[in-house]
Structure 1
Amino acid sequence: MTLELQAAVDAGRARSNNEDSVATDPETSLAVLADGMGGYNAGEVASNMATSFICTELGRWLREASAQAGDQDVRRAMDICVDNANRAIFNAANSNPQYAGMGTTLVVALFRDGRLLVGHVGDSRAYRLRAGRLQQITRDHSLLQEQIDAGLITPEQAAFSANKNLVTRAVGVEDTVLLETHQHDVQPGDVYLLCSDGLSDMLDDNTIAQILQSHESLETLCASLIEAANDAGGKDNISVILVRVGGGTTAAPRSWWPFRR
């Protein structure tokens, strides 16, 4: 299995600062995305702490232990790294008044041996495009999703709700956090998208699917997704990570990494 990765971040059209952050470790097939929250530049601090800490620490563990580690070991390593990042952000928020109340959403995607292990906190998402069909493979930790699950509103009504940005779970807000983790089989030709709500709030699933099938270049696809979200209003920061799965024998992933924020 070969992997091709591409990432991009954009401030959007309504905000001057960027509180999204992305990071990858191509050697270990790891991708991390976070969408920060908090006053001043606290959201930017929280998201950067989360992506940098998790990519560095989990990447180091994977390089040292991945060959012998089973899936349960990897899940536990993900939990521990996220818990440590959560405590670091929580402690920083409580020791510095400027960062009080800061936190971040999180999506962590790890590809290994024909499987994807994806963990998330909050309303940043992971999608899979397979054979032309786009499927959301994470479920938002948000008030809006709880209302949908309870039958109080329909998904169509949710698109116009004023409660879009109210998450029920975030990294760094409390002294503990629960990472929701699921495993998926990976097939050659799959394209996986990690994104912040700056993308998913602006574009519906059909539009995202059409864009993902419009070009061969992942760099062009990232740019097209961001351009479409901005054309639809660009009301928030927009971050995307794309991972395309190829066939053949196992090899080091190819990576194009234009910047990191």
Structure 2
Amino acid sequence: MEYIREEKQLAWLLRVYTVLFAIGGFLFMLFPQIPHFFELKPVPEGIIETLKAIGGALFKLVSSGDHWNVEVTIPERFWVFSFFSMMMTITACCFITSLDVRKHRKLVIPVLVEKSFGSSAALLWFLFVCQSTESVCWAGWRIEYFPWFLVFLSDFPLFVLLLIFYLRAHTGAIPESYVTGGVDKQNYKPMLVGEEETTVSIVKGEDKLRTLDQVVTDSRLFEMLEKYREGSGKEKADFKIVIKPN
């Protein structure tokens, strides 16, 4: 199947997302030991602790405070399993769609939903729920909630980028071979797949030539070829087709 340029670009983006989401999901699930570079205590033991440590390091740059909490709570550990299953789901959606963006294009929608709702919810939570009047805060927000803001910073650009590529890769567009040939889009429109219902003609007879002529007439083959010729912009003398026997 021939894809237009925008569809090929969407497929490449989805391949990148497949790798990105798979790695991210397994990192959070397995909680690998990550070296800390921020001289914080206690030492970060995994992804969430490291993100909180980064928030603490930023806090240290703008405040004289010496204490912050980087301990991961039980609820945070509990939701890691749901996060892992969600990441594997959108990884599968991206991978399947990248194999055939025209056939499986709708599988991009769950990824868009996840990224849009996830990033917006994280931002709203960080802005309105994570505010604190305690001393361990900066600009009204507790530093230990910094990972919530990182969710927005990472997911929202991914959502916007995927949405743009998804809208550009519309189905039923003109293949590159016709675009490079300078075919007028309006003339090509009647040639698009799905514009008309498929006609199936079944004729039985001893005379094969007469039977073939009947099939050609019933299926309106010559009318269809005329549409293709008009879409190609060629004269009848220059328009050629190849019919392969089944």
Determine which structure has greater relative contact order: mean sequence separation of CA pairs < 8 Å that are 6+ residues apart, divided by chain length.
1
Q: TM-score range by the shorter chain?
A: under 0.3
Larger strand proportion, structure 1 or 2?
Answer: 1
What is the TM-score normalised by the length of structure 1? 0.25
Task: Judging by fraction of residues, say which structure has more helix.
Answer: 2
